[in-house]
Amino acid sequence: MATGHNHQLIVTIIDKGRSEPIIKASRAAGAEGGTVIYGRGIGIHERKMLLGIPIEPEKELVLTVIPRNLTEKVLTAIIEAGDLNKPGSGIAFVLDLDRVAGIAHLLQKPPQKPEKD
């Protein structure tokens, strides 16, 4: 198990069916994959009612664990692929990870330097 803040988690929450471009973009930017979790929730741009009953749209949460040095590049790719600067299109945020286990192949690699654009 690795300790310290060498890895981060990017959490991306988008409408159901929109995770594939997010994962493709993050992989192209240096991430090795992602995990998709299904959920429900309402943002301020999604308050919908059907016969007086609130509807909770289905969501996909994409979890991407990455080395800290790739965070900006991968996050930028996710924002562009998901058009996240557009209101109501989703949200992405980054969390520091104190401990990481189960990704031995990442922990054994020497840290990569971000590629220059």
State the angle between helix axes of 71-82 and 19-28 in degrees (0 to 180), rounded to the nearest 10.
150
Identify whether 96 is part of a domain: no
The CA distance from 98 to 81, in Å, is 28
Identify whether 45 is part of a domain: yes
Identify whether 33 is part of a domain: yes
b/e string for 63-97 if b means 16 or more Cβ within 10 A?
A: ebbbbeebbebbbebbbebbebeeeeebebeeeeb
CATH of residue 65: 3.30.70.120
Residue 40 CA: distances (Å) to CA of 14, 29, 43, 46, 93: 10, 28, 10, 12, 18
With a threshold of 0.85, does the pTM exceed it? no
What are the tens digits of pLDDT across the range 59-117? 999 999 999 999 999 999 999 999 999 998 999 999 999 888 776 665 565 555 555 65
Domain count within the chain: 1
Average pLDDT over residues 4-21: 91
Identify whether 114 is part of a domain: no
pLDDT at 1 over 60: no
Residues of the domain holding 72: 2-90
The CA distance from 113 to 90, in Å, is 29
Identify whether 115 is part of a domain: no
More confident position, 36 or 46: 36
